[in-house]
Structure formats: structure tokens, C-alpha cells
Amino acid sequence: MDSRQVAAYLRRIGAERPARPTGPALRELHLRHLRTVPFENLSIHLGEEIVLEEERLLDKVIGRRRGGFCYELNGAFGALLTALGYEVARLAGRVYGDEGRFGIPYDHLALRVRTVEGDIRLADVGFGAHSHYPLAYAERGEQADPGGVFRVMDAGPDEAGAGAEDLDVVRDGEPQYRLETRPRALGDFAAGAWWHSTSPLSHFTRSLVCSRVTEDGGRITLSGRTLTTTDAEGRREARKLAADEEVLTVYREWFGIGLDCVPTVRNRTLDY
């Protein structure tokens, strides 16, 4: 990233450029990213190509003012953090599914970030409902966060052959994903992104989602035509949007995404 792109990215998330790559600055950047850049899979259903190259990701997040899913969001955020002086490693994860089954290899991309103080954090702005702040990477006890109570745990053996240093990320007692600790290149995740954007078995091809953290610490999510608001205490309210114009207004006013038409699920196995 060049200085112009860094400045534009910071404007996009409403943040000042930190004087130094500190822990508090990382927390602020992480939260602002979650509040302004939505977790969304619209590209899959709009027929837009997903390319895991830094310039393409930055153009989507900055130039087109869009969001994305994990590869795109953490890919772009990792580029910003690197440009700001943080030491960043991309880590591959496998998401826990039904009955504790793992997803595909390179199922998820998360970031290990070292600050100028030498602190190491697990940053993840691409997992939907997750921690609002980066987690302490080496801490094995409970970590309270507005998004829940988290633990980063040493992983035990599994049928997929977990490495000795693999980690489990747990939220409110439920395992979220298993994380490898070996750094990866952005291009390593291309096969995972392709699978999730094309396979009929991927939940991303079977549903539409656009979601972000709200200013009060809650969450707003548009899933197909269902708009769900969740407050900071976890109280939820959902309503169906009937008219196309209402759906487009929600995308524009709540997520900053201007669309010409309402996206529809390509792989119609779910009924909205």
C-alpha cells in the first residue's frame, strides 16, 4: 500500500493514522473496521469475481466502499496494518461445523499481529459475529469482550491431524475455528475462496448476508430480505422487507452499499 491508499483506508473506517503501531491503536482500528466495513457475500450472488490480490481487495474496500468475507476483509485489513508498521502474519483456519466437523482446508483467514510493545494479538474482522477487539494470542484463560467470552486454546489431536501448535478459538464455550500457526501467503487462500464462492455445499452460495457491528455494540444484519437488529444485551428484533426499494435502502443507508438491483441467491436451497 502507498500513503494515498493508507489515508483513504483510514478515512473509510473513520480512523486517524496512529503515530506508532501500538496495542491501543490496533484495538481502535479493529473496532472501527467492524463498525464500517460489512461482512457480506454479495459478490457471489452478483456474479462479481473474487480475486485475492492486494490491489483488488483495496479497490473493493476503499474504492467501491464494499465489504466481503474473511479472505477479503482480513486480507485488506492485514495490508493496512502492515503499512502502518505492525508485524502481520496470515493464519489459516478450519471452521467448526455441525457435530464438530471441520470445514475445508484454508476455510478461514485470521491475522496474528505484533505491536510495537511486543504484544501479540489475534485480529479477525472477517468472521461475522466475533470479538470486537483483537484477542490476546498467548492468553489461555477467558477473555471478556463485547462480542462474548473468548478463549484461545491449545488444540488437541483430531482426525485431520492437528499440528502440535494448532489453536482452537472458542466463543461462549463453543469452538469457532481451529487455527494453524504457520504464516501463509494471501494467494494460499485462493482455493478456499473459490470453493466458498462456487460450491453448492458452501453456506455462502446458499444464502445472502450483510452484517456489521453497530455504534452501541450491537449488530445489524440483512439476511436475504430479513433485517435483524441485535442490541448490546443480545435482544433481537427481526422483520421481513417486502419491497425491493426497501431492501436497497437498507443496503445503502445501513451498510453504505449502493446497488442497482436486489441480489438474489444463485443456489436456491433456502427460501427467504
Beta bridge partners of 226: 223, 240
Which triple of cell numbers denotes residue 179? 487455527
Which triple of cell numbers denotes residue 110? 485470521
CB 66 within 8 A of CB 2: no
Find, among 84, 91, 117, the residue nearest to 106 by Cα: 91
Beta pairing class for 174-179 and 39-40: unpaired
Active site (annotated) includes residue 70: yes
Residue length, the chain? 272
Catalytic residue among 30, 33, 45, 108: 108
Beta pairing class for 226-230 and 39-40: unpaired
Active site (annotated) includes residue 124: yes
Catalytic residue among 30, 33, 70, 166: 70
Catalytic residue among 30, 45, 107, 124: 124
Could you give the CA distance from residue 201 to residue 125 in angstroms, rounded to a whole number?
24
Active site (annotated) includes residue 210: no
- Helix ranges restricted to H, 14-134: 23-36, 42-46, 54-58, 70-83
Please give the positions annotated as active site: 70, 108, 124
